[in-house]
Amino acid sequence: MAMDEIVDGMSEVSCDVLVIGGGTAGPMAALKAKLRNPKANVVLLEKANVKRSGAISMGMDGLNNAVIPGYATPEQYTKEITIANDGIVDQKAVYKYAQNCYGIIEELDSFGIRFLKNENGDYAVKKVHHIGTYVLPMPNGDTVKKALYRQLRRARILISNRYMATRLLTGSDGRVAGAISVNTRTAELLVIKAKAVILCMGAAGRLGLPTSGYMFGTYENAANSGDGYAMAYHAGAALANLECFQINPLIKDYNGPACAYVAGPFGAYTANNEGSRFIECDYWSGQMMLEFYNELLSGKGPVFLQLKHLHEKTIEEIESTLHKVERPTRGLFQKGRGNDYRTESIEMHISEIGFCSGHSASGVFVDDFARTTVPGLYAAGDMASVPHNYMLGAFTNGAVAGTDAMEFADNHDFADFDAADVAKERDRVMAPTRRDDGIPPNQIEYKARRLVNDYLQPPKVTRKFELGQRRLAEVREDMEQRMIARNSHELLRALETQSILDCADMAAHSSLYREESRWGLYHLRTDFPEKDNENWFCHTLLSKKDGRMTSEKRDVQPYVVPIADDEKDLYDKQRIRATA
């Protein structure tokens, strides 16, 4: 058989709980679902291979948001994230995370993932945020995926690798009924009926085009092409605050952080070309990114991470973390450029745009039980709307989703779906393979993402967005009418391109809807430059209604932890002011 030859076939299986995405949240959701009902069938579906998939493919250097007794309280953390996310937070989910995450840290510890401890045996938490102390280094963070995989095998979770989910199935009552997926090596379809479905499909990280021009050189794992966002949308689920883009400060040309979270606690800091600090705090907020962006444009750029003033031993320790976990090719990149942290500062730049609640707040809307607006459908991790939830949030909220989804499955039978929906989806999926001539997916993807950079990148200009929408509509027509896939691997890319274009459309639509500026650079609208609390102190929910993309407002739920008036703008004061 020729490489990646297309096999025309379809089969159907069923399970109690289907978890889609085996990165961070997914494995934890699957484990907790199985723990809740050991007799039930839990399937973990993964586009790549669970052993090495997702944002933490090579592990992680630390927890960015650990709420550890003695260092921080759930109240303090909830307050910090509320202020960092400009007040637009349903605190219940954040507060629940803050209460649960310590238990998850202890559980991860029992899996064999070590966290940094001091000489007294206490967790050695570091301060990076504006107010509180939440950053906990992981000296053997490279072992995370292996440790998770062991647990999945032990719990007898059914793992299906190399299946890309394309659409959710819903019953006539609107309840989730399962999902349709495609084998990425053979293009065979697999229909999975399920009583409950948990989406853990990561960020929409292949939306903007990196400045290097290399399509797969994105900040997020390039496999995270926003498939979960697209699937939730087409199933009728609401997506929250998509205009709150993810933009990150990274090493210039390289797609990893420099990384101030790791090096900051040792005394490194972000500085301009004059060697001066210009931001108060390195925690990634939209407000901080705006100061970063302003500095780059001010003539005082480039911006650098400064660490050459540190002691040799300290630099060695920083290097051993930065070059071993999360993005280990960082060391290779610096070596290739002849950059030595001892003699040279690290040039930084801002990344392409994406959706990610792990870092900002753009995600599929979920409540404090990880429930989406579609009954039986859950979401967790980077793609779910709990703001700034990072890796520990993916684990913690994944656990919440797994437990609640199994409870739902225990109390519901399979929802009936229309066989015509499957036939329709099969036609849609296979369409690029049935054309003899046309445009390959990589060209359509490149063009869509180039348009995202040209028209949708902040600062957001209304006229540019409208032009961008027109151009993107033209690309969509090409995609729907002319895209070809000559083998199953190209079909995988073709399907990802469809997710990317859906996300681009959602990014444009949601950004135009919110007629104010908020979250610093993430939603900086030149035509509405001010924050407008009177009209826009609310979430925006985007969804598909009668086949059309619509947006509406949703009230911010009453705070659990009150924020004093003089605390509300703490994150707006990022720029260091000259003091006498």
Nearer residue to another protein within complex by CB, 61 or 291: 61
Nearer residue to another protein within complex by CB, 336 or 529: 336
In single-letter form, the type of residue at position 17 comes to V
Nearer residue to another protein within complex by CB, 51 or 234: 51
3-class secondary-structure state, position 19? strand
CB-based burial, 178-198: b 16+ in 10 Å, e otherwise? bbbbbbbbbbbbbbbbbbbbb
Q: Closest approach of Cβ 435 to another protein, in Å?
A: 12
Q: Closest approach of Cβ 21 to another protein, in Å?
A: 12
- Helices 462-482 and 441-451 pack at an angle, to 10 degrees, of 170
Binding site for another protein (CB under 8 A): 3-4, 48-49, 51-54, 57-58, 161-162, 184-185, 210, 212-218, 221-223, 253-255, 327-329, 332-333, 336-337, 437-440, 489, 492-493
Nearer residue to another protein within complex by CB, 370 or 492: 492
Strand bridging mode 62-63 / 136-137: antiparallel
Nearer residue to another protein within complex by CB, 221 or 373: 221
Q: Report CA-CA distances (Å) from 482 to 269, 300, 413, 432, 470.
A: 50, 47, 41, 7, 18
Q: Closest approach of Cβ 443 to another protein, in Å?
A: 10
Nearer residue to another protein within complex by CB, 205 or 363: 205
Please classify residue 147 by burial: count the beta carbons closer than 10 Å to its beta carbon, then call 0-12 exposed, 13-18 middle and 19+ buried.
Answer: middle
In single-letter form, the type of residue at position 147 comes to A
Q: Closest approach of Cβ 287 to another protein, in Å?
A: 28
Nearer residue to another protein within complex by CB, 73 or 212: 212
Q: Closest approach of Cβ 489 to another protein, in Å?
A: 6
Nearer residue to another protein within complex by CB, 359 or 525: 359
Nearer residue to another protein within complex by CB, 331 or 459: 331
Q: Closest approach of Cβ 472 to another protein, in Å?
A: 21
DSSP secondary structure string for all residues of 530-544: S--HHHH-EEEEEEE
Number of Cα atoms under 13 Å in the Cβ half of residue 273: 9
Q: Closest approach of Cβ 52 to another protein, in Å?
A: 4
Backbone angles phi, psi at 518, to 5 degrees: -155, 160
Enumerate residues 6+ apart whose C-beta is below 8 A from 45. 18, 19, 20, 21, 22, 160, 163, 165, 179, 181, 192
Taking residue 553's Cβ as centre, other Cβ atoms within 10 Å add up to: 14
H or E segment and range at residue 467: helix 462-482
Q: Closest approach of Cβ 255 to another protein, in Å?
A: 8
Q: Closest approach of Cβ 579 to another protein, in Å?
A: 40
Q: Closest approach of Cβ 345 to another protein, in Å?
A: 19
Residue with tokens 């109240």: 75
E-assigned strand segments in 100-188 = 136-137, 158-160, 163-170, 176-183
d(CA 423, CA 579): 68
Nearer residue to another protein within complex by CB, 78 or 334: 334
Cis geometry, peptide bond prior to residue 27 (ω within 30 degrees of 0)? no
Nearer residue to another protein within complex by CB, 239 or 258: 258
DSSP secondary structure string for all residues of 552-573: EEEEPPPPSS---GGGTTGGG-
- The sign one gets for the Cα dihedral 295, 296, 302, 308 is positive
Enumerate residues 6+ apart whose C-beta is below 8 A from 304. 270, 271, 272, 273, 345, 346, 347, 348
Q: Closest approach of Cβ 225 to another protein, in Å?
A: 10
Nearer residue to another protein within complex by CB, 208 or 376: 208
Q: Closest approach of Cβ 333 to another protein, in Å?
A: 5
In single-letter form, the type of residue at position 452 comes to V
